[in-house]
Amino acid sequence: MEEYYEQFTEWLTSLGEEHNVDPLTLGSLYLISKLSFFTLLGFVIKNLRAKKPVTLLILFAGLCFSIPYTYIIIAGRNISVWIYIFIAALFIYGIYSIWRTVKTKREQLDAL
Per-residue pLDDT tens for 40-84?
989 998 998 898 998 899 899 889 989 999 999 999 998 989 999
Query: Rounded CA gap, 27 and 49, in Å?
Result: 33
How far are the Cα atoms of 1, 6, 90 from residue 81, in angstroms, in the given order? 34, 29, 14
The average pLDDT across 8-30 equals 90
| CA-atom Rg of the chain in angstroms | 18
The Cα–Cα gap between 36 and 10 comes to 30
Taking the model in full, what pTM does it have?
A: 0.76
Per-residue pLDDT band for 92 (boundaries 50, 70, 90) equals very high
The whole-number pLDDT of residue 84 equals 92
Q: What is the mean pLDDT of the chain?
A: 90
Per-residue pLDDT for 112 more than 80?
A: no
